[in-house]
Amino acid sequence: MPTRMLHSEQTALEALQLRLPDRFKHAKLADRPDIQDEIDNIGVEVTAGVRDDLRQLLVQEPTKQKRRALARMGIETHYRFNEKNDQRALASGALNDVASAVQRKSEKFEQYRHFNENNLFIHVMPDARAEVDGVLKQLADVPYDKIYLWDGHTMVEINVRTAVVKRY
């Protein structure tokens, strides 16, 4: 699985349009932020919330050495292959570092074009629901309006201003 699969702007756009079709029907890929909707005046920056020390291990071919390295971190991996070039890692353990992703993108916020609504979309591994409380604790310092966590199946929307959490 190439690195971009963990941090794909195209995948983020498709997820937003799948889960919130009316809201993101005019959205297009762009740069700074990665998704822009000129009509509804929404910008969405996209990033990965996977721990940096895991990202490279998870996107490469699963050798015994890599599995042992993950096991030393307390992470058990299981791989499935849907197609020859489509490898997905299924893992258990503390995989996400959403707090760092939010902080990193918040620090760069001024470098992006601003819209009436500015959101952050974070690709996460399947244990992301455990990250919601951590994100809620740091909302006072977040310049975004909404934060989306996407694990490939479930989307969690956190409204930064009201601290309301919705699952799609």
Q: Which pLDDT belongs to residue 160?
A: 95
pLDDT in tens, 61-98: 657 776 677 667 666 555 444 444 433 444 445 567 88
Question: Does residue 45 have a pLDDT over 60?
Answer: yes
User: What span, in angstroms and rounded, lies between the C-alpha atoms of 143 and 139?
Assistant: 8
Q: What is the pLDDT of residue 90?
A: 41
Per-residue pLDDT at 85: 40
- How far apart are alpha carbons 127 and 143 in whole angstroms? 25
CA distance 100 to 105: 9
Is the pLDDT assigned to residue 57 strictly greater than 70?
A: no
Mean pLDDT (the chain, rounded): 80
> What is the structure's pLDDT at 132?
83
Whether 49 has a pLDDT exceeding 70, the answer reads yes
Q: 91 near 71, Cβ under 8 Å?
A: no
Run of H or E including 124: none
- What value does the mean pLDDT take over residues 120-145? 81
Q: What is the pLDDT of residue 158?
A: 94
Helices (H), the chain: 9-19, 52-59, 64-72, 98-107, 132-137
Contact 128, 98 (CB under 8 A): yes
- What is the reported pLDDT for 128? 56
Q: 49: helix, coil or strand?
A: coil
Q: Quick one: how far is CA 52 from the chain centroid?
A: 13
Residue 34 pLDDT more than 50? yes
Extract the tokens encoding 106: 């918040």
User: Does residue 114 surpass a pLDDT of 60?
Assistant: yes
φ, ψ of residue 149 in degrees (nearest 5) = -110, 125
Residue pointed to by tokens 């310049």? 143
pTM for the whole structure: 0.76
